[in-house]
Amino acid sequence: MPKIIARTGDDAVAEAMRQINPDVVVAYPITPQTEIVQFFSEFVAQGRVKTEFICPESEHSAMSACIGASAAGGRVMTATSSQGLAYMWELLYIASSYRLPIVMPVVNRALSGPINIHCDHSDTMGARDSGWIQIFSENVQESYDNTIQAIRIAEHKDVLLPVMVTLDGFIISHAMERFEMLDDEVVQRFTGEYKPEYSLLDKEHPITYGPLQLFDYYMEQKRQQHEVMKSVAGIVLEVAKDFEKISKRKYGLFEEYKMDDAELGIVVLGSSAGTAKTVVDMLRKEGVRAGLLKIRVFRPFPAAEIASSLSHLKAIAVLDRSDTFGGLGGPVFEEICGALFNYQFPDGCRIPVVNYIYGLGGRDINLDHIKKVYMDLAEIVQTGKIKELVQYLGVRE
């Protein structure tokens, strides 16, 4: 029977890692991910996992060792945040191009500078083109559930790609919530045993990872990487279906909240989706047809499915917890605009889409902020005019 307990996000993710019982964990502590490594190292000390736990001198070394261990055929995990993820940068691309199924919870924290330890999505959004699958979580439960599902997605024979599972720094990582922990045996049956097709340690079948590829083969390699990402969505849904059987919780590529008859819609990811759902409920009571779309899988981006889900709205606001400084707007906004531009509207209609940058460096986002966004959308529908395409939410002028 699942246990209902109160846990922080970091604690819940560490429990997921304990249940997954990876062959190798190489991790360097960084706020606000620290407790994941701390709790997991306790499990190692108590002998509750059989994991080879390596404490490297940096995140660069952590990801390097993960790559080596994964190429050797192990089930491998690590975790990081912000500067730690930035310090892994060059290895992120190597892990994905070698097709190594490493699973990494990333506790979202703003990138320096100025130095800041609180939540925004600039760290993982910066890594969005690194070839990793990216799954965002709304709360403690989802952080735990996504971590477990990520193992199956990463190691699927048609995928074999590394996965980042994100949880918002402090808001999820350090806040205690009600959460249901599955039984150890149930999780272990779900994740199964990882049987790698190749191993660097298999001396009967010697292989080479990462040979030099110049103008003659590099482009074919990248084309292959592009292609495999296309098959990920189907596997994510397949794994979600299996996970529902053990947890009774449904997961998709994204979640629609009161979208069926909605006119005004917000697109958001991470913990702010919870705040926005409360606002949707409040507005519904006032007769406003508000809806919400929460992106779960940001990479690969389910463009056609999301555009289809948004296609009946009268106005859309995209909330971005990071900026692109010189791009059209935030990274989620750009994806949504691209998705809608390429969607085949039967009547050729064009929905106004606006962008709000919010919550940078842990800046609070509250009900009033989100309510204002819906009110702005109502005004856009009424006047047919967009006053400002990209705005900052909750910044002092």
Partner 1 sequence: MSEEKGWREIPRGGMILEPGNARKYETGSWRTFKPVVDFNKCIHCLFCWIYCPESAIIVKENKMSGFDLAHCKGCGICAKECPKKAIEMVKEEK
Contact residues for partner 1, defined by CB under 8 A: 97-100, 160, 198, 205-211, 213, 216-217, 220-221, 223-224, 227
Comparison of 223 and 245: residue with beta carbon closer to partner 1? 223
Comparison of 158 and 364: residue with beta carbon closer to partner 1? 158
Give the burial class of 53: count Cβ atoms within 10 A of its Cβ; 0-12 exposed, 13-18 middle, 19 or more buried.
Answer: middle
Residue 36 and residue 107 in contact, taking contact as beta carbons nearer than 8 Å: yes
Q: How far is the CB of 92 from partner 1 (least distance, A)?
A: 14
Comparison of 90 and 220: residue with beta carbon closer to partner 1? 220
What is the Cα–Cα distance from 334 to 324, expressed in whole angstroms? 10
Comparison of 114 and 206: residue with beta carbon closer to partner 1? 206
- Longest distance between any two alpha carbons in the chain, whole Å: 72
CB neighbourhood size of 73 (10 A): 17
Q: How far is the CB of 130 from partner 1 (least distance, A)?
A: 15
What is the Cα–Cα distance from 238 to 226, expressed in whole angstroms? 21
Q: How far is the CB of 118 from partner 1 (least distance, A)?
A: 36
Comparison of 185 and 216: residue with beta carbon closer to partner 1? 216
Q: Return the closest-CA partner of residue 104 out of 48, 143, 55, 54.
A: 143
Q: How far is the CB of 162 from partner 1 (least distance, A)?
A: 11
Q: How far is the CB of 174 from partner 1 (least distance, A)?
A: 37
What is the Cα–Cα distance from 15 to 37, expressed in whole angstroms? 11
Q: Return the closest-CA partner of residue 145 out of 194, 180, 101.
A: 180
Question: SS3 sequence, 93-124?
Answer: HHHHHCCCCCEEEEEECCCCCCCCCCCCCHHH
What is the Cα–Cα distance from 290 to 260, expressed in whole angstroms? 10
Q: How far is the CB of 222 from partner 1 (least distance, A)?
A: 8
Question: Quick one: tokens of 141?
Answer: 């439960």
Residue that the structure tokens 């990920």 belong to: 232
Comparison of 1 and 212: residue with beta carbon closer to partner 1? 212
Helix (H, G, I), strand (E, B) or coil at 285: helix
Q: Return the closest-CA partner of residue 241 out of 259, 253, 227, 229.
A: 253
Comparison of 66 and 360: residue with beta carbon closer to partner 1? 66
What is the Cα–Cα distance from 31 to 34, expressed in whole angstroms? 5
Q: How far is the CB of 102 from partner 1 (least distance, A)?
A: 13
Comparison of 199 and 324: residue with beta carbon closer to partner 1? 199
Comparison of 207 and 389: residue with beta carbon closer to partner 1? 207
Q: How far is the CB of 377 from partner 1 (least distance, A)?
A: 43
Strands 290-295 and 103-108 turn out to be unpaired
* Rounded (5°) CA angle 360-119-159: 110
Give the burial class of 178: count Cβ atoms within 10 A of its Cβ; 0-12 exposed, 13-18 middle, 19 or more buried.
Answer: exposed
Q: How far is the CB of 58 from partner 1 (least distance, A)?
A: 25
